[in-house]
A and B are shown apart, each in its own frame.
Chain A
Amino acid sequence: MPTTLILVTIAALTVVGYFLGRGRAVEVAEGRLARLHSVPSYHGAFVALWAGLPALVLLAVWILAEGPAVMALVLARLPEALVAVDEQTLSLLRSDILNLAHGVSNGRAPDPLISDAADFYNQLHGLAEGCLVVLGAVAGLIGLKHARSRITRDLRARNLVERALNIALVLCSLVAILTTVGIVLSLLFEAIQFFSMIPITDFLFGLHWNPQAAFSGDAAGSFGAVPLFTGTLLITVIAMVVAVPVGLLAAVYMSEYAGPTMRSVAKPVLEILAGIPTVVYGFFAALTMAPVIRDLGMAAGLDVSSQSALAAGLVMGIMIIPFVSSLSDDVINAVPQALRDGSYGLGATKSETIREIVLPAALPGIVGAVMLAISRAIGETMIVAMAAGLSANLTANPFAAVTTVTVQIASTIRGDQEFNSPKTLSVFGLGLVLFVVTLILNVVALRVVQKYREKYD
């Protein structure tokens, strides 16, 4: 509550600061705004920033520092015997006090010393919050007054404000970049830890995947990821066999043949296909597609398991169709009309023009689209988990149950884990492989697409 109060106060101060700053600038200009270095609204923003930023920084620091500081004071008042213990007991003590202070009871009657300490904690905490409101307001006011007093005709308010904005933007992008770097690093370190238990060659080239066996002492022999890679490959290939021709032909139809009415209907429909959550595709694959395939297979005298790579791959292909078609549609549309005119002008038919001129010209872009689609298929989990199963079979038979890298990661992480077992750590190894493969695909795809763009711009 006090935090809300202080935020409202700061917001109010910024607004007031803006108008005061602007007013002051107009005042200094003495009737001729052109005499100012910057437009008055920049002076307003300048003062607003001074009123808001220092107070916000104070708030942030306070929130971070207050808890530990108050706790230190509380602990200092407790008898020596209670406090002079090892770190683990101390942290238990801290959480006892905190729980009591926040009114969370653990069922037992509290030690009177602890409950005293909790009361004292609450008292200090309340005081601190009160201080914060006052300090925040004061900081805001001081900042505002300082900035307002700096306003002169020559104040380069625009430059200062722009610089502040610039810094804010840099900070935002840093957040994004640092998060990515952090994730990659954690992936890397855990993977290294995993590979210190299981040799990387066993992992990359082993033919047998059975992490459960790690519990029965046979740790090294059960982390061969090849069946997962082949399973991923098999399903991806099936998905691409469905998605690439259908998606590409749909794109050709949309961009070259369909009339405006058809296009206005078909495009949104395809986009809806892209908007269906993958779980829905997943149970469609598992409950509708897989039985149909099994029945068809049986009718043809084939041995089809009820979970099959084919079912998962087909449905995944359907899922990826809109992805391929909308990307290809874009690159086909980017082929200059002049090329089509040139071809028509020579007496080529529409299909000749498309086959011989438009598609070759769009080919690099289409390749890029397909590669992005592949990396999408490799990363897909839900459909495979539901429709293709968990058994790590090393097979190229599309009617068999297979599993993929992502599915293994998902099923390993599900439920309680002891964090240091090779079984749990194996997901980092798998994740790293997945990351590297999709990264390479994406980089290559973007390169290809970019190169293609350059050619016509």
Chain B
Amino acid sequence: MMKIEVATRTPVGDKSLKCQSIPIKIAAMKVDVYYGAKQALKAINLHVENYRVMALIGPSGCGKSTFLRCLNRMNDTIDICRVDGRIELDGVDIYAKSIDTVQLRARVGMVFQKPNPFPKSIYDNIAYGPRIHGLAQRGPEMDEIVQSSLERAGLWNEVKDRLNEPGTGLSGGQQQRLCIARAIAVSPEVILMDEPCSALDPIATAHIEELIDELRENFTIVIVTHNMQQAARVSQKTAFFHLGEMVECNDTEEIFTNPVDERTQGYITGRYG
């Protein structure tokens, strides 16, 4: 049986908070997703709490990425994809007609599985988002945003002398932190991460995990991961997906020590994956 360490860095206040009502940032209600005729998600109900890290785990193809992409409507870019049900951000339906995906995605940022820096300079990679959203013009104001974003992504010291070099020239781990910095730069409220460490080596992974833990102070984070130790290390809540269904969602500690559903138990003990 696999040994799993449960998050040790959970803030002290957490246990007591559990009884109180923690504000819900994202609420998914009876969400069905279809790719053409094929149903990828079935009646998903899930709440993501504010300033927490929610981990989505489950075997490949169970719909974790699909669900994540529903949360900032990235699925809109896939022609054959259809989303039914209701997803609320701060109580407002994000699939309502009045919602502009541009503004939605500024509030709900995304980091992808494979680092995808733009073929621009490091500086321009960060400045791109603030510029298109009109947060700042070129100049000291933008420099400030770039610097603080890079600092919060823990990359500033490594790149401060080469901001004009292409972002594609960084190492894989640095590229991924650049992508995180890029997402932070538009001051989102939620950051979605789809297996952000799966293309990285263990040291870069540890770096990112630390970063996620720090980011929790200011952002709500939903992270998809294949690595259960990682889920245990960085998240406070974990949801287990299986064959397009959300089987179980609970405190991370509970899920890993005391799973209710036997499918969850099977997965976390490595019976299938």
Contact = CB atoms under 8 A, between A and B. Distances in A.
B182 interface: yes
A346 B106 contact: yes
A226 to B, nearest CB: 41
Contacts of B183: 345-346
Contact of B118 (A260, A347, A357): A357
Interface in B112-128: 112, 114, 116-120, 128
A352 interface: yes
B133 A347 contact: yes
B104 interface: yes
Contacts of A338: 112, 114, 116
A339 B119 CA distance: 9
B116 A356 contact: no
Interface string A351-377: 010001100110000000000000000
A341 interface: yes
Contacts of B106: 346-347
Contacts of A349: 102, 132
Given A342-B179, A360-B120, A347 B132 contact: yes
Contacts of B104: 347
A455 interface: yes
Interface residues of B, number: 28
Contact of B74 (A345, A356, A360, A455): A345
Contacts of A352: 132
A125 to B, nearest CB: 71
A361 B116 CA distance: 13
B105 A341 contact: no
B102 A342 contact: no
B109 A346 contact: yes
A336 interface: yes
A345 B114 contact: no
A123 B126 CA distance: 90
A259 B183 CA distance: 30
A341 B132 contact: no
Contacts of A412: none
B28 interface: no
B112 A346 contact: no
A343 interface: yes
Nearest to B192: A345
B185 to A, nearest CB: 8
**Residue with the highest number of chain A CB atoms closer than 10 Å, among B102, B116, B117:** B116
Nearest to B106: A347
B182 A346 contact: yes
Given A352-B132, A356-B132, A344 B116 contact: no
Contacts of B105: 344-347
**Residue with the highest number of chain B CB atoms closer than 10 Å, among A259, A342, A352, A356:** A342
A338 B120 CA distance: 15
B59 interface: no
Q: Chain A, interface size: which category? A: 20 to 34
A385 to B, nearest CB: 43
Interface in A301-343: 336, 338-343
A292 to B, nearest CB: 42
Contacts of B129: 346-348
B132 A345 contact: no
B77 interface: yes
B257 interface: no
B186 interface: yes
Contact of B132 (A342, A346, A360): A346
B116 A341 contact: yes
B128 A356 contact: yes
Interface in B145-170: 168
B132 A336 contact: no
Contacts of A336: 116
B208 interface: no
Interface in B166-200: 168, 179, 182-183, 186
B110 interface: yes
B186 A342 contact: no
B233 to A, nearest CB: 25
A338 B183 CA distance: 15
Contacts of B79: 259-260
**Residue with the highest number of chain A CB atoms closer than 10 Å, among B77, B109, B186:** B77
A421 B102 CA distance: 71
A259 B79 CA distance: 9
B72 interface: yes
B119 A346 contact: no
Nearest to A456: B119
Contacts of B116: 336, 338-339, 341-342
Given A338-B112, A356-B128, A343 B77 contact: no
12 contacts: A259-B79, A336-B116, A339-B116, A340-B77, A342-B182, A344-B77, A346-B128, A346-B132, A346-B183, A347-B186, A348-B129, A352-B132
Interface of A: 259-260, 336, 338-349, 352, 356-357, 360-361, 455
Given A342-B112, A342-B117, A347-B106, 4 more contacts: A341-B110, A346-B109, A346-B183, A361-B119
Which 4 pairs show the lowest CB-CB distances between chains A and B? Answer: A347-B105, A345-B110, A338-B116, A347-B106
